[in-house]
Amino acid sequence: MDIKKKIKQFPDSPGVYMMKTSKGQILYVGKATSLKKRVATYFTSKLLGKTKMLIERVEEVDYIECESPQQALILEAALIKEKKPKYNISLKDSKSYPYLEISKEKYPRVFISRVKDKKKSLFFGPYADVSSLREALKLIRKIFPFCSCRGRRSQLCLYYHLGLCPGPCAGKITQLEYNENIKAIKKILKGKRMELISLYKNKMAKLSSLKKFEKAAKMRDKIYAIENIYKGRPRLHELVALKKKLGLSKLPLLIEAIDISALGKNDATGSVVRFKDALADKSNYRRFLIKNVKGADDYKRIEEVVLRRYFRLIREKKELPDLILIDGGKGHVTSAERILKKLGKNITLIGLAKKNEEVWLPNKDKPKIISKNNPALHLLQRIRDEAHRFAHAYHLIRRKKRINFKKKLK
C-alpha cells in the first residue's frame, strides 16, 4: 500500500510511530498527540537536511495507538533505547530540558529536575515535554509508588493516603521492598520492560505454587499494568477479539464473572466481580455466603448466586452486564441460564472450564476452543482468575472465623 494512503487510515489519537526500511529496520521513532496529523506532515511538507534524508529511505510506517500522550512518551523513550534508531537525535542541551532524577539515598526519591549532578543522583532523559513527563511519571507511580518528599516527615503525606507513596518515612515499607519498586522504575526508564515482565511472571508463579494467592494476584496486576503501558490500547483489542470470537452484536464493555469457593459442605462462598472496559471495577465486586444449598452441589450454589445477584440488580433498576462469565463448564452454564430465564433476562452467558480453558455456551454439546495466543482468551482468563481470587479470599475468612469460634467454645 502507498504510504500516503496508509497514513490516511491512521487514527486521530495519541501514539508512537515507527519509520522503517523495506526490510523492517527501524530508522526513526516518534510520538504524537494525533498519529494521523503528525505522520502526514512528513509527506506533505517541504523537508530539509536529515529529515529529508530520513524520508527518502522510509518504505514503511507503523504505529502503536496509546491511551494518552503521556503513555506515548514512555513508550517512545523505551523503543528508542531498545531499537536505537539511526535518525533519533539525543537532546544535547541538557540545561534546556528536564530530566527524571532518582536520588542515591537509603530510600531514593524520584522527581523531575533540570540540575545534573551525577554524584548525588541517577538521571534519565532529557525530555523535551515537561508536562507530558509529569503525566508519564504519574502513570509509573500508580504501578510503583515512590517517595518524592525532601527530608523525613513527622506524619504521612497526602501521596501516601492516595496510594502513590508507600510511606518509608513512617516505616510502612521495608528498605528492601521499597528498593524493589525503584529497581522496577529504572528498568522501565531503561527500556527493559521484557526483562521486568519476565522477572515478575517468575515471581507470580512461585507465589502461586506456595499458595500465596493474594500476593500472586498483586504481582499479576503489576504485570498487566506494565504491559498496558507498552501495548498501547490492549483493552480495546481484547474486547474486539472477544466480540468476534463469541459472535456478539456489540462490544462486551460490562462483564461480570461468578465463581464458587468451597471445601466440602462447609463455608461455601460465591463471588461476583465486575470488569468495565476490560478493567476491574472493584467498587461493584460482591461476595455471597451460600445460605440455601445443602451438601456439596456447585450447580445449586451457582444458581443461588445468580439469582441473588441479578434479582437485586433488576429490582434496583441497575445496569446489567453485557456478558456473564461462569468459572466452570457445561453444567455450571446450564444452571446459570436456568435462573436467568426465570428472571426473564437474555444476557449473553459463557463458562470457562479450567482444565483445558474451554469456552462453553448454553445449549451447546461441544465447547468453543480459543487459541491460547488470542487476546480474547487472555481477557477471559484474567477476569475468571480475579473471580476465583475474590471468592477464595472470602472463603478463607469464613473458614478462619468458624475455626476460631470452635476454639473459643473449647
Fold entry, domain 234-407:
Nucleotidyltransferase; domain 5 (3.30.420)
Q: What does the pLDDT average to over 201-230?
A: 85
**Statement: residue 361 has pLDDT above 50:** yes
Q: How confident is the model at residue 407, as a pLDDT? A: 59
pLDDT in tens, 111-164: 988 777 777 888 887 777 787 788 888 888 988 999 988 766 667 888 888 888
Greatest Cα pair distance, the chain, in angstroms, is 88
Domain ranges of the chain: 3-83, 91-190, 192-231, 234-407
> Which distant-in-sequence residues (6+ apart) come within 8 Å of 84 by Cβ?
none
Q: What does the pLDDT average to over 170-197?
A: 89
Q: What does the pLDDT average to over 178-191?
A: 91
pLDDT over 90, % of the chain: 38
Closest-CA residue to 74 (of 21, 19, 28, 135): 135
Give the dihedral of Cα atoms 223, 165, 169, 132; nearest 10 deg: 110
Q: How confident is the model at residue 92, as a pLDDT? A: 47
Strand duo 279-280 + 266-276: pairing = antiparallel
More confident residue, 38 or 67: 38
**Statement: residue 182 has pLDDT above 90:** yes
**Statement: residue 405 has pLDDT above 70:** no
**Band of pLDDT at residue 328, cut at 50, 70 and 90:** very high
d(CA 86, CA 224): 31
Q: How confident is the model at residue 229, as a pLDDT? A: 75
For the chain, the average pLDDT equals 86
> Which distant-in-sequence residues (6+ apart) come within 8 Å of 69 by Cβ?
14, 31, 33, 129, 132, 135
Question: Matching CATH topology for 3-83 and 234-407?
Answer: no
**Statement: residue 290 has pLDDT above 90:** no
Fold entry, domain 3-83:
GIY-YIG endonuclease (3.40.1440)
- Cell numbers describing residue 222: 503489576
Distance set, CA 387 to CA 145, 152, 379 (Å): 26, 40, 13
Neighbours of 92 (CB within 10 A): 8
Question: Are residues 237 and 277 in contact, defined by beta-carbon separation less than 8 angstroms?
Answer: no
d(CA 59, CA 3): 8
**Statement: residue 91 has pLDDT above 60:** no
Asked whether the CA dihedral 238, 240, 241, 245 is positive or negative, the reply is: positive
More confident residue, 158 or 300: 300
pLDDT in tens, 237-282: 788 889 989 998 888 989 999 998 876 566 788 899 999 888 888 8
Of 71-80, 260-269, 358-367, the poorest mean pLDDT is in 260-269
SS (H, E, C) the chain: CCHHHHHCCCCCCCEEEEEECCCCCEEEEEEECCHHHHHHHHHHCCCCHHHHHHHHHCCEEEEEECCCHHHHHHHHHHHHHHHCCCCCCCCCCCCCCCEEEEECCCCCEEEEECCCCCCCEEEECCCCCHHHHHHHHHHHHHHCCCECCCCCCCCCCHHHHCCCCCCHHHCCCCHHHHHHHHHHHHHHHCCCHHHHHHHHHHHHHHHHHCCCHHHHHHHHHHHHHHHHHHHCCHHHHHHHHHHHHHCCCCCCCEEEEEEEEEECCEEEEEEEEEEECCEECHHHCEEEECCCCCCCCHHHHHHHHHHHHHHHHHHCCCCCCCEEEEECCHHHHHHHHHHHHHCCCCCEEEEEECCCCEEECCCCCCCECCCCCCHHHHHHHHHHHHHHHHHHHHHHHHHHHHHHHHHHHC
Q: How confident is the model at residue 11, as a pLDDT? A: 87
Q: How confident is the model at residue 280, as a pLDDT? A: 86
Question: Are residues 337 and 270 in contact, defined by beta-carbon separation less than 8 angstroms?
Answer: no
Of 126-130, 334-338, 360-364, the poorest mean pLDDT is in 126-130
